[in-house]
Amino acid sequence: MSDLIYLYGIVPNHPGQNECPAFKGLDQTHEVYTLSYGTLAAVVCTLDGGEYSEEALKEKSNQMEWVQEKAFHHHEALLTIREALPVVPMKFCTIYASRSSLTEMIESHKEKLVDLLARLEDKEEWNLKIYCDTAKLKEEAEAHNLTIQAKRDEIATMSPGRQYLEKRKLDQVADEEVEKEKDAFCTDFHEELKAFCEDSTVKDTWNKQVTGKDVEMCWNSAYLLATQDVEQFLATITKMKEQSSPSGWQIEATGPWPAYHFANLS
């Protein structure tokens, strides 16, 4: 069976400038190399056609250890490439049956690939995740939130029987106000950070089973920044992290990453 081509990403092809780093490919046997397409180059490695055929991959995809190991390799490879060159990253397990099929893809998207690489020049992707200790935040809200205080004052004027019923509603009001505060905190901070960025996107949050944390994730976003703006971007996050932690907020910024969220061929 013929060999296959595994594609990591597309990089600029400018002889005499930075070159793609050398490392072992997905199978840890074949070396990674580049294929030239004028001003573009494809970062690839060779794979055995039998071991990585469509049928073989379907079977391997059910082996969690194999998937984790190879997906981690793909991610680490893109990080290594990104340190040397702008890169349009491909999804894990992007495989072509032949060089001609790879060439066809690149030629059909060449203009967009050139534009994406120009856009990514001297740019970095950073990710932001915000977590919240809901119980702690509710404590703060019950002590300082005006809506909750107004409801509490209203209940105090009622008859004892009515108070009993309304106090049960007070907890619901508190929960609603906490959710409003979560949304306001995250969206306001996101808008503040967007001022430093060329582009941004809001992603789905993860549950506790995925994060492994005992607090709730309430925000997940990604930002594309010019390298010169990264320091101020991170300083803003650090300042907010220090100010908000006493109220139960946990803020995590990670990067720089390959531009997974801003270099999509769709």
Can you tell me the distance from the alpha carbon of 96 to that of 195, in angstroms, rounded to the nearest whole number? 40
Look-up of token digits 């990089």: 11
pLDDT digits 0-9 by tens, 172-226: 767 787 888 899 999 999 999 999 999 999 999 999 988 999 999 999 999 999 9
pLDDT tens-place string over residues 220-250 = 999 999 999 999 999 999 999 999 998 889 9
Q: What is the pTM of this model?
A: 0.82
Q: What is the mean pLDDT of residues 91-116?
A: 94
Q: Does the pLDDT at position 164 exceed 60?
A: no
